[in-house]
A = this chain, B = another copy of it.
């Protein structure tokens, strides 16, 4: 299986599930050792889940199948350059390589907010549209201290 084969599989999924009204025109596959170990497609509107983007769904599927929270050594093939949520999910999953087809600009032209959100991220936090207030810092900090002192903690 070539890189193109894996991407073509993702493109097939994106078309099929978009036409079936599951969500936006996006899909992704996670590949490890040459084998597809997780597939995902956008299901935001059909599942009422704003986090059900293709990459998130594919990462969750791959982790469930492999019984791990780390996809180190895997690659992700996504039909569109990931939005900030999915890009960070790829980092948290420790996936080192990404193949993409459409760009953030293409997504923006198709009516999606990926580009707008990247522009929000580039702003200082207090200039973003999301209003933010800090409270109870000391009470929450105590829980972090307990974590650091917890001898059987599992790091990720």
A residues at B contact (CB < 8 Å): 3-4, 7-8, 11, 14-15, 18-19, 21, 23-25, 44-45, 47-51, 53, 56, 59-60, 63-64, 67-71, 79-80, 83-103, 106-107, 109-111, 113, 117, 120-122, 129-137, 139-141, 143-144, 146-148, 150, 152, 154-156
Chain B residues in 8 Å Cβ range of A95:
130
Identical copies in the complex: 2
Which residues on B sit within 8 Å (CB–CB) of A120? Answer: 91
Inside 8 A of A71's CB, which chain B residues have their CB?
50
Contact of A92 among B7, B50, B102 (CB under 8 A): B50
Complex partner residue of A85 from B88, B106, B137, B143, CB under 8 angstroms: B88
In the bound complex, residues from chain B placing their C-beta under 8 Å from that of A90 are 130
Please give, as numbers and ranges, the residues of chain B lying within 8 Å of A109 by CB-CB distance.
144
The minimal Cβ–Cβ distance linking A102 to chain B, given in whole angstroms, is: 5
Is A135 in contact with B99, judged by CB distance below 8 angstroms? yes
Give 5 CB contacts A-B under 8 Å: A19-B146, A48-B69, A50-B69, A101-B135, A109-B144
- B contact residues around A154 at 8 Å (CB): 21, 23, 45
On whether the beta carbons of B136 and A96 are closer than 8 Å, the reply is no
* B101 engages A136 (CB within 8 Å): yes
